[in-house]
Amino acid sequence: MYGFRSSRNNLGSGVAMARIVSAVGSAFALIEVIYIVLQIAKANPANGAYQFVQRMADPLALFFPGLFTFSEPDLTVMANYGAAAVFWVIVSGLIARALA
């Protein structure tokens, strides 16, 4: 009667998919950041949690490991895995924008 519409009821499938893509990209970036923190904090590589995060972070880093090499190993990890985290945020954002 008054022409008000609830935005919750009008979410299209594109917007829902955009949110999912954005969430997945953010989760991938978070995994990379957690791995960076574990590396810099000198976490025990024999620990199961460390190994779990490493097994997830390595394939998500795609082609970035080895892209940058510095004399300081922590800086190398930050640059390579940080670039992968930024990549996931940007790519998922672009895809989400296209879907919305």
Could you tell me the two tokens for 9? 């009821």
- Counting Cα atoms < 13 Å in the Cβ hemisphere of 5 gives 4
pLDDT tens per residue across span 11-60: 578 889 999 999 999 999 999 999 999 999 999 999 999 999 999 999 99
Reply yes or no on whether the pLDDT at 9 is more than 80. no
Q: Cα separation of 64 and 60, whole Å?
A: 9
In the prediction, which pLDDT does 13 show?
A: 83
Supply the pTM of this predicted model.
0.83
pLDDT tens per residue across span 56-88: 999 999 999 999 999 999 999 999 999 999 999
Contacts of 66 (CB under 8 A, 6+ apart): 80
